[in-house]
Amino acid sequence: MKRKFLFHNRLFLALGVASIFHFSCQRQSTATATASTAAPVAQEKTSEGVPASIYEGIEFDMPRVKETSFPNYSVSITKYGAVGDGITKNTKAFEQAINDVAANGGGRVVIPRGLWYTGPIVMKSNVNLHAEAGSMVIFSKDFNDYELVETSFEGLNTWRNQSPISGKNLTNIAITGSGTFDGNGDAWRPVKKSKMTDAQWKNLTKTGVLSDDGKMWYPTAQSKKGQVNNNFNVPDFKTKAEFEAVKDYLRPVLLSFINCKTVLLDGPTFQNSPAWNLHPLMCEDIIIRNLNVRNPWYSQNGDGLDLESCKNALVYNNTFDVGDDAICFKSGKDKDGRDRGIPTENVIVKNNVVYHGHGGFVVGSEMSGGVRNIHVSNCTFMGTDIGLRFKSTRGRGGLVENIWISNIDMINIPTQAISFNLFYGGNSPTMDAEQGGSGTPAAAKPVPVTEETPSFKNIWMKNITVSGADEALALQGLPEMNLQNVVIENAFLKAKKGITAVDSDGIQLKNVKVLADQGPALTIFNSKNITVQGLTFKEGQGQVVRVLGPLTQNVKLDSKDFKNANTQINKGKDLKASAVSVK
């Protein structure tokens, strides 16, 4: 009886499982049949819409960013034979799944859990590439998988290897989900010996080739051949054949979207990019949110996000931990950028966290097409080389204006918490062993103002907290084109050194507390129309403000800020008698 009872129980269990399986197959079959018909009428948002709070408190007129919407049609890459073992190359499966969705009017390409090794992925309009939890897309380290294509890198028109993820002239595209896209950047990037431990360097140099001085590792001899000192990472070649000869050197950005409209990046991790990580170029209506953007700290040109010549964008709720600038706005370099003439404008940046990076929020240095109408708020920078970073140099041209920054918290900043440097020379903020100083002159000579002269003006910052930095604030303009109209209000700045203003015009400090471990709280050199009110500093500090330079004029200090202005304010011998007033 007992055996008979067990047999019946097992039989009923088997029948139950079979019926559930049959029912699920029927549902799947029906869904597939429905999805395979002509483009369905039903549309679905990729995810929840943009919260109203993202648009709150914006200081300029900006249209609502258009949001993506896709038909309710879905195809898994496994339908076309993709194998998630981390070894099988799935380039064709990705291509066929994307073509399928595009041909059926749009929808979702699903990347299930697994390790999906692949060559480059080329997006199409109306496609949402959705990486499910536990999925990881690993891009091939076979350089032959990537064709040489015409593109723009570091603001210059050039040839470059095809990006692992790319799209050009597309509309309504998205990459969503909680999976990971890994660019296999370690296979591409040169590495400096100074950024490795001895054990790491010994292991790395088992492959590849070294520079002549032994201080740089390259993955191949062809990669080493491409290293030239002009134009940083963009060789000054004229023909495609010249670029082909150094193809391995021409590292691609991980994601390149060019001239695309209505773009969404929502949820995934993007990591280990060969060069920059995310590079939207000349795009419009872009939402970048809930991303985890990662690169090794030693990665050459390992930027997080480079938003270049883009219009109407939202960047919120992201985390960055990268090898170069984290959130960076650009618009082309020198003549190529001026000829393009497309600024980055109408952008909201909110609720982002940056760990390592050369800069937390950055403008430049390739800003020749201009940057304007930018709101940045509620961001935290922890251990970032520079917190808020503005950089350019002679030869760029371009106008950066109308930028509002508020509610920024910074801690353990190795160099300047806030930096304006219009003599940017291309070096990282924290110098490598083989780099010299920045080369910024203490008293530069003016040159004629031309279309190549960059201009930064009308920048407001308030509610800034800095708890530990080497330098609180560095304002460095050009003698022929001063940094203009920068306002710092309600700031707490704790750093080794205080504030320095050089070749600046129209600087206002309102309710700023500077706790500097050495030197004065504020130094002003060859600057004009400076207003300081509500300045506080360390109790018992001797010299608080130092004013220098024969070109300095109209510096207004508030007498209420000083117990003894005669001893706390130091005036240089070359200063005009009327240059400073204390009232």
Check if 503 is active-site: no
pLDDT at residue 47 in the model: 58
Task: Kindly name the residue from 266, 285, 324, 505 that is annotated as catalytic.
Answer: 324
Check if 358 is active-site: yes
pLDDT at residue 429 in the model: 86
In the chain, the amino acid numbered 269 is T
Half-sphere exposure of 339 (CA within 13 A, CB side): 8
pLDDT tens, residue order, the chain (583 aa): 434 433 444 433 343 434 333 333 333 333 333 333 333 334 555 557 999 999 999 999 999 999 999 999 999 999 999 999 999 999 999 999 999 999 999 999 999 999 999 999 999 999 999 999 999 999 999 999 999 999 999 999 999 999 999 999 999 999 999 999 999 999 999 999 999 999 999 999 999 999 999 999 999 999 999 987 566 789 999 999 999 999 999 999 999 999 999 999 999 999 999 999 999 999 999 999 999 999 999 999 999 999 999 999 999 999 999 999 999 999 999 999 999 999 999 999 999 999 999 999 999 999 999 999 999 999 999 999 999 999 999 999 999 999 999 999 999 999 999 999 999 987 878 745 444 444 444 578 999 999 999 999 999 999 999 999 999 999 999 999 999 999 999 999 999 999 999 999 999 999 999 999 999 999 999 999 999 999 999 988 889 999 999 999 999 999 999 999 999 999 999 999 999 999 9
Burial 177-213 (b: 16+ CB within 10 A, else e): bbbbbbbbbbbbbbbbbebbeeeeeeebeeebeeeee
What burial class does residue 455 get, using C-beta atoms within 10 Å of its C-beta: 0-12 exposed, 13-18 middle, 19+ buried?
A: buried
**C-alpha angle with apex 492: 490 to 498, nearest 5 degrees?**
115
pLDDT at residue 228 in the model: 73
Task: Kindly name the residue from 100, 358, 385, 561 that is annotated as catalytic.
Answer: 358
Q: Tell me which residue of 235, 272, 232 sits closest to 254, measured CA to CA.
A: 272
What burial class does residue 391 get, using C-beta atoms within 10 Å of its C-beta: 0-12 exposed, 13-18 middle, 19+ buried?
A: buried
Q: Tell me which residue of 273, 113, 112, 128 sits closest to 186, measured CA to CA.
A: 273
Q: How far apart are CA 271 and CA 384, in angstroms?
A: 18
pLDDT at residue 231 in the model: 63
Q: Rounded to whole angstroms, what are the CA distances from 254 to 160, 185, 191, 322, 328? A: 12, 8, 18, 13, 15
Q: How far apart are CA 461 and CA 407, in angstroms?
A: 9
**Residue 464 φ/ψ, nearest 5 degrees:** -110, 130
CA dihedral for 566, 570, 574, 580, sign (positive or negative): negative
pLDDT at residue 4 in the model: 40
Q: Tell me which residue of 320, 300, 310 sits closest to 279, measured CA to CA.
A: 310
